[in-house]
Amino acid sequence: MWCWGFEPRASCMLGTITKANESVLLQAYEFDEVMFWRNAKCPTCDLRKPARSKHCRVCDRCVHRFDHHCIWVNNCIGAWNARYFLIYLSTLTASAATMAIVCAAFLAHLVVVLDLYQETYIDDSGHVQAFDTVFLIQYLFLSFPRIVFLLGFVVVLSFLLAGYLCFMLYLVATNQTTNEWCRGDWACSQHCPLVTRLPPAEAQVYQNIHSHGLWSNLREVFLPVLPCSEKKTQ
């Protein structure tokens, strides 16, 4: 039996697999017998591996619905903290984008206050030239190098974070983890070696059996399930 929306504690927060919850978590997801095998066992933890789980060498534990180990939060992203990671990633993206907007607005304000768009300069041939965009950027960089450099940095950072956020949302919408996305085609080719000899149009592609529609996939991440037996023991 499973409960929706219950907040797990301590080691359960990541979905750490233990002797106490091993038998329950084995029933959480279906085994595809391609990437996740029913009788697989973790040689380090000496536990049976539930489907979609993986042993993290950094944390030295098996994590249920393992996504990846994030060095920025120094923890694994697992079954019940994936939503918090998405919120964290969203706030980082919003913060970087906000900083870029603030820096750009400050520089634009300087241009307007100082009337730089109406300024002129004398070129090498002695002709009077109006400030063009390139010359204006060069002037701002020489006058306010730290702000211009910060603007360039946060703009690049915003695009990188936004791209990664979109990728993570795609995985959520299709009910995949980063680990499964990286291993999918490889696992299929290892399970079916003859697939690599087929033309691309006939080659077998790994089928995700855990996706049950957009809303069910979103609910699984943002309203994760927890065995009621764990709730009673806490």
Active-site residues, by number, are: 70
> What are the phi and psi torsion angles at 151 (to 5°)?
-60, -45
**CB 25, CB 51: distance < 8 Å:** no
C-alpha span between 78 and 221 (Å, rounded): 10
C-alpha span between 176 and 140 (Å, rounded): 46
User: In a 3-state reduction of DSSP, which class is residue 230?
Assistant: helix
> What are the phi and psi torsion angles at 135 (to 5°)?
-65, -35
Count of CB atoms situated within 10 Å of the CB of 130:
11
Radius of gyration of the chain (CA): 26
> What are the phi and psi torsion angles at 226 (to 5°)?
-140, 135
Listed in sequence order, the residues at least 6 apart from 183 whose beta carbon sits closer than 8 Å to its beta carbon are 35
**CB 100, CB 155: distance < 8 Å:** yes
The CA-to-CA distance between both ends of the chain, in Å, stands at 16
Q: Which of 164, 165, 179 is nearest to 210 (CA)?
A: 179
